[in-house]
Amino acid sequence: MLDHILVRHARKCGARFLDGHAVKRIEHTPEGVKVETVSNGQTQHFSGKILIGADGAGSRVSRFLGNTVTRGTKALSVRAYFTGVTKCESYTRMYFNEPFFPGYAWIFADDRGGANVGLGIVADPNFPVTVDLKEQFKRFVDTDLADLLDGAQQSGPPAGGWALVSRAATRIGERIMLTGDAANCVDPLNGGGIHKAMESAWYAAQAATAALGSGDCSAKSLDAYEQALRRAVDPDWRSAELLLTMGKNPHLKHLSLALLERIGGMVRQDQSIADFCSGIFSGMVPQRNFLSPGALVALLPSIVSVMPSMLTNLEPKKMASLSAHIARGVLGGLRGVMTNPAQNFAWGVELSTKAMALGGNLVESMGVRN
């Protein structure tokens, strides 16, 4: 639906939309950039002063710039659509289950009986995926959503997807810019790409308009796009990336899940905490806020208010279960560190490096605002 809205708007603004063209070749010319495509077996050529690559995670334009589009941390997902969902209306829920953590599953239901159901997981070069996503998706649908999807019908087979959440080596070149998934503009924390793609497209449009107006479409001129995008999104992107890095170590999954369970308990009791946590996860509020003293101090009264009831409601059995969960996480983490020292050392170096980079970026951003 969103794609259709965007295409209609672009056409109204004068864009020419051609569907079904596969890009086969890109080259620079004295006047600009030339793209060779194939459609229905017919080769066609298009020329322009600027090429904006918005061609997804496997971007041919990105590869033309020299990026390796399959290297780095990925968000892998599988999803399916359902109709005839009558058990919930305008319903959104996330599931953090041990078998597919670090990752989560979801159901987004609308008020017309439709639902988007999916499952995503982090695939890291240091921690490869060891589960079958389609098998986990089926189990999730058949167990966690058995009641909500009772009587609903699945529309077609599950579809898979992926996107890199590692920073692209370059997002600009001579007369070329990358946006969206092609530029790895994916939220590291939730794997979502739509809002990041829209942001990058906005800044790319501003840079393209300025470059065309000045007659200078060089990489130096288009660097305005890179700098604007960094100023706008880097502090939050790096904050989300740090949280992802902290959570992607499978040896610490039980500790991570125990923490998420405690956060979930507070979320259910206080709307301010719910708004903060859901906002950080979804990217609807600045994700750097989880490190902001001001934001955390503002949230402190809500945290203090829910603590007594959480402690009161923590029955002996639940306390024992939580303690066992934490102990299991600590012991599992220590065992993982001892049996995979090189793997965990690399993770520790990555975590430290990203924390320092985020710190420098936050200091820089505060200087810009001041």
Cα distance from N-terminal residue to C-terminal residue, the chain: 41
State the residue range of the domain holding 134.
Answer: 74-164
Q: Taking the CA atoms of 178, 192, 234 and 68 in sequence, report the sign of the dihedral they define.
A: negative
Assess whether 134 and 198 both reside in one domain: no
Assess whether 151 and 292 both reside in one domain: no
Which residue would you say has higher pLDDT here, 339 or 272? 272
Q: Does residue 82 belong to any structural domain of this protein?
A: yes
- pLDDT tens track for 6-46: 999 999 999 999 988 999 999 999 989 999 999 999 999 99
Assess whether 258 and 328 both reside in one domain: yes
CATH of the domain at 153: 3.30.9.10
Q: Answer with the one of 111, 137, 164 that is the final residue of a domain.
A: 164
Residue 368: band (very low, low, confident or very high) from pLDDT cuts 50, 70, 90: low
Is the pLDDT at 370 greater than 60? The verdict is no
Task: Quote the pLDDT of residue 334.
Answer: 63
Q: Answer with the one of 164, 180, 198 that is the final residue of a domain.
A: 164
CATH of the domain at 22: 3.50.50.60
Tokens of 358: 């985020």
Residue 262: band (very low, low, confident or very high) from pLDDT cuts 50, 70, 90: confident
Is the pLDDT at 278 greater than 80? The verdict is yes
Q: Does residue 21 belong to any structural domain of this protein?
A: yes
Assess whether 219 and 184 both reside in one domain: yes
User: Residue 28's closest CA among 237, 161, 174, 164?
Assistant: 174
The pLDDT of 317-329, averaged and rounded, is: 62
Q: Does residue 243 belong to any structural domain of this protein?
A: no
Q: Answer with the one of 164, 185, 211 that is the final residue of a domain.
A: 164
Q: Does residue 348 belong to any structural domain of this protein?
A: no
Q: How many domains would you assign to the chain?
A: 3
The pLDDT of 115-120, averaged and rounded, is: 95
Q: Does residue 208 belong to any structural domain of this protein?
A: yes
- pLDDT tens track for 52-70: 999 999 999 999 999 998 8
- pLDDT tens track for 334-363: 666 667 778 888 888 888 998 888 887 777
Assess whether 289 and 300 both reside in one domain: yes
Assess whether 159 and 171 both reside in one domain: no
Burial of residue 236 (CB within 10 Å: 0-12, 13-18, 19+) is: buried
Assess whether 147 and 197 both reside in one domain: no
pTM: 0.85
Assess whether 226 and 261 both reside in one domain: no
Pairing of strands 115-123, 153-164: unpaired
Q: Does residue 80 belong to any structural domain of this protein?
A: yes
| Contact status, residue 242 vs residue 347, Cβ threshold 8 Å | no
**CA atoms of 136 and 293, how far apart (whole Å):** 39
| Contact status, residue 81 vs residue 114, Cβ threshold 8 Å | yes
Task: Quote the pLDDT of residue 357.
Answer: 86
Pairing of strands 103-109, 115-123: antiparallel
Assess whether 206 and 86 both reside in one domain: no
CA atoms within 13 A on the CB side of 120: 23
Assess whether 116 and 60 both reside in one domain: no
Task: Quote the pLDDT of residue 329.
Answer: 61
**79 three-state secondary structure:** strand
Taking CA atoms, 47 is separated from 92, 194, 209, 322, in Å, by 44, 28, 17, 62
Q: Does residue 364 belong to any structural domain of this protein?
A: no
- H/E run at residue 134: helix 133-143
Assess whether 147 and 87 both reside in one domain: yes
**CA atoms of 137 and 369, how far apart (whole Å):** 44
Assess whether 144 and 172 both reside in one domain: no
Return all residues near 103 (Cβ < 8 A) that are at least 6 apart: 119, 120, 121, 122
Q: Give 49's DSSP letter.
A: S
Q: Does residue 358 belong to any structural domain of this protein?
A: no
